[in-house]
């Protein structure tokens, strides 16, 4: 008896038992040019932009004439079916999918018959640009804007802003083995396969792993996979958090975990939780456990990157002998309490929300506002839950972790930043450069380095009319995290002289003789400022200068 491959035939999910049908679908999508460029040209800039905001009406208005025609173009039908919630008769689908035909769409579990007798999509399918050379097509569950009613609790999320953000911040060295923890429909996995020889993808949902398998095999050519031997490069595993990979080690771990803080209710079951966002633990405990546990699955030198929420205003258990809580911003207290002292960490808080703002965001996300009574009940539960832990706000941001190769040397140590303004994505390459700079400083003598000002850096000077000297000197980054540094007069002088000719010690010595005025802390203070500008990417090291 031939066994069905794991996750290839899960109820209410696309099926991936027959590769010839998947290849036929890919051929039809390719023939219709179902991709970003063709869709944008078909809709025009305004309707296309609205579609990216999940607003369907402008696109439907643009295509109204096309759908009224006896035989709409294949691209219009495919766009309407997969992304606009349109229904079509059998003839229109057979014409738009001449290789797969309607029978193949049914066999793959991609369409279903509506009460009207026409056919509608049972999945959302859309193009996605990955690190592969070609666009991919990614299937997920239809969103709230495409279907009426509250989302199903085992909803498989598609290409959302959080998943795009994680893909853009991920550092991408060539690695032997990578892990996508909580893969969903597989977005992060697709990016990993461009620079990891093998990858493991885990999820607590069988439906999610079924979508991931379908997407992998649909896009096997672009991803460089052998559909007859998928396991040679990718393993799909069912389980919660780190359980499926306990005892293993990876070079790179990425995760967009179910970090949403949701009030726990007496008697609730897993079926009552939205698996794509709700980890089933009180408060931010899921994130806490994950951050504490991830170093155990990292190889020495291995890195993990993830998105997370954390509660602000709670009272974590921190030994007052080790850190003075009064001097630490409130949002850092929780994350600091989760970290192993041997782990390097970089937290960047991007935004915060009050308890009521947070409740509204996630009630709206699951379309619970469509049921007024349930909405009011669950809103109250959110506020009561936050009040029970004295939570004043919830933070959202990026997390970078590393297990040092040498436990005695932690170049980055713990770094915490708040960056609430727009940054230039993708920043993965910038983060990699910042970490490399910290590593280099830890391994070399800063004083012997020759430095250059980064190409994207500009200087601003502000002074009162008639003043002899500027009162404020600012250094700004035009790329990456777009930081701004307030400079002292001596640090501004140092930056102005960074043309790579003189070493750091030579420049500091010259400035000390000009501006030090006998200050015993002048040199150390200047060295600290220079080190900060190097690790933050304002100044770059010239490794070939001696």
195-219 pLDDT, tens digit per residue, is: 999 999 999 999 999 999 999 999 9
Question: What is the C-alpha R_g of the chain?
Answer: 27
Whether cis (ω within 30° of 0) applies to the bond prior to 112 is: no
Per-residue confidence band for 174, with pLDDT thresholds at 50, 70 and 90: very high
Task: Tell whether the model's pLDDT for residue 87 goes beyond 50.
Answer: yes
Residue 268 confidence (pLDDT) above 70: no
d(CA 117, CA 356): 43
Fold of 444-541: Outer Surface Protein A; domain 3 (3.90.930)
State percent of the chain over pLDDT 90: 73
What's the pLDDT score for residue 407? 67
Question: And the tokens for 474?
Answer: 């600012």
pLDDT at 158 over 60: yes
Cα dist. 324→321, 333, 417 in Å?
7, 10, 18
- Going from N- to C-terminal start, the domains of the chain cover 19-122, 157-256, 264-276+288-421, 444-541
What pLDDT, on the 0 to 100 scale, is given for residue 505? Answer: 94
Q: How many helices (H) and strands (E) in the chain?
A: 20, 18
Alpha carbon distance 456, 429 (integer Å): 14
What integer best gives the mean pLDDT of the chain?
90
Token digits of residue 321: 């002998």
Looking at residue 442, its pLDDT comes to 84
Q: What local confidence, expressed as pLDDT, does residue 318 receive? A: 52
Express as a percent the part of the chain with pLDDT over 70: 91
Residue 277 has pLDDT above 80, yes or no: no
Give pLDDT, residue 146. Answer: 72
- Whether residue 267 is predicted with pLDDT greater than 80 in this model: the reply is no
Question: Do residues 435 and 412 lie in contact, with contact meaning Cβ atoms separated by under 8 Å?
Answer: yes
* CB distance 356 to 393 below 8 Å: no
Strand boundaries in 383-436, DSSP class E: 393-402, 414-418
* Pick among 3.30.200.20, 3.40.1180.10, 3.90.120.10, 3.40.50.150: CATH of 157-256: 3.40.50.150
The pLDDT tens digits of the residues spanning 29-50 come to 999 999 999 999 999 999 999 9
Q: Is the dihedral of CA 215, 220, 226, 228 positive or negative?
A: positive
Question: How many CA atoms are closer than 13 Å to the CA of 380, on its beta-carbon side?
Answer: 5
E-strand stretches of 169-208: 175-181, 196-203
252, 179 in Cβ contact below 8 A? yes
If residue 109 lies in a helix (H) or strand (E), which one and from where to where?
none
pLDDT of residue 234: 97
Tens-digit pLDDT profile for residues 484-515: 999 999 999 999 999 999 999 999 999 999 99
Q: The pTM is what?
A: 0.90
Distance (Å) of CA 238 to CA 181, 235, 464: 11, 10, 64
Which pair of tokens denotes residue 68?
A: 């009224």
Give tens-digit pLDDT for 408-459. 667 778 999 999 999 998 999 999 999 988 888 888 888 999 999 999 999 9
* Secondary structure (H, E, C), 504-532: HHHHHHHHHHHHHCCCCCHHHHHHHHHHH
Query: Which pLDDT does position 152 carry in this prediction?
Result: 78
Q: What is the pLDDT of residue 1?
A: 41
- Ranges 90-99, 159-168, 426-435, most confident: 90-99
Contacts of 30 (CB under 8 A, 6+ apart): none
């Amino acid at each position: 008896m031939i066994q069905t491959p794991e996750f290839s035939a899960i109820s209410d999910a696309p099926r991936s038992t027959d590769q010839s049908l998947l290849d036929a679908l890919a051929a039809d999508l390719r023939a219709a040019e179902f991709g970003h460029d063709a869709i944008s040209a078909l809709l025009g800039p305004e309707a296309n932009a609205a579609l990216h905001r999940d607003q369907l009406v402008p696109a439907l208005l643009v295509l109204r004439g096309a759908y009224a025609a006896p035989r709409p173009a294949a691209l219009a039908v495919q766009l309407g079916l997969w992304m606009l919630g349109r229904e079509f008769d059998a003839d229109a689908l057979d014409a738009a999918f001449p290789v797969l035909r309607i029978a193949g769409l049914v066999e793959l579990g991609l369409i279903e018959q509506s009460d009207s007798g026409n056919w509608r999509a049972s999945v959302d399918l859309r193009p996605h640009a990955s690190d592969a050379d070609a666009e991919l097509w990614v299937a997920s569950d239809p969103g709230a804007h495409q279907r009426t009613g509250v989302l199903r609790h085992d909803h498989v999320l598609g290409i959302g802003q959080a998943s795009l953000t994680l893909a853009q911040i991920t550092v991408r060295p060539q690695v032997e083995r990578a892990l996508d923890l909580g893969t969903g429909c597989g977005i992060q996995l697709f990016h990993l396969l461009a620079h990891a020889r093998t990858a493991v993808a885990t999820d607590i949902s069988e439906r999610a792993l079924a979508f991931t398998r379908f997407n992998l095999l649909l896009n096997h050519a672009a991803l460089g996979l052998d559909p007859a031997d998928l396991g040679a490069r990718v393993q799909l595993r069912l389980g919660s958090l780190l359980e499926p990979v306990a005892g293993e080690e990876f070079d790179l771990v990425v995760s967009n975990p179910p970090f949403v803080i949701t009030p726990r209710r007496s008697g609730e079951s897993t079926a009552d939780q939205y698996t794509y966002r709700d980890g089933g633990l009180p408060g931010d405990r899921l994130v806490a456990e994950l951050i504490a546990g991830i170093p155990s699955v990292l190889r020495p030198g291995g890195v993990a990157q993830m998105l997370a929420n954390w509660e602000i205003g709670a009272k974590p258990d921190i030994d007052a002998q080790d850190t003075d809580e009064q001097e630490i911003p409130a949002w850092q207290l929780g994350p600091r309490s989760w970290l192993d002292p041997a782990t390097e960490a970089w937290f960047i808080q991007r935004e915060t929300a009050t308890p009521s703002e947070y409740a509204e965001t996630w009630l709206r996300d699951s379309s619970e506002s469509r049921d007024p009574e349930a909405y009011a009940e669950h809103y109250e539960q959110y506020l009561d839950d936050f009040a029970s832990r004295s939570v004043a706000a919830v933070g959202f941001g990026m997390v970078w972790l590393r297990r040092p190769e040498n436990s005695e040397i932690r170049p980055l140590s713990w770094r915490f930043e708040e960056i609430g303004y727009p940054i230039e994505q993708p920043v993965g390459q910038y983060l990699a450069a910042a970490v490399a700079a910290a590593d280099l400083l830890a391994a070399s003598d800063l004083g012997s380095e020759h430095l250059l000002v980064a190409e994207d850096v500009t200087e601003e000077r502000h002074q009162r009319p008639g003043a002899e000297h500027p009162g404020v000197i600012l250094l700004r980054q035009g790329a990456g995290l777009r930081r701004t540094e307030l400079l002292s007069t001596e640090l501004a002088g140092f930056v102005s002289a960074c043309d790579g000719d003189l070493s750091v010690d030579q420049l500091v010595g010259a400035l000390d003789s000009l501006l030090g005025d006998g200050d015993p802390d002048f040199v150390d203070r200047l060295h600290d400022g220079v080190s900060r500008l190097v690790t933050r990417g304002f100044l770059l090291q010239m490794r070939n200068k001696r």
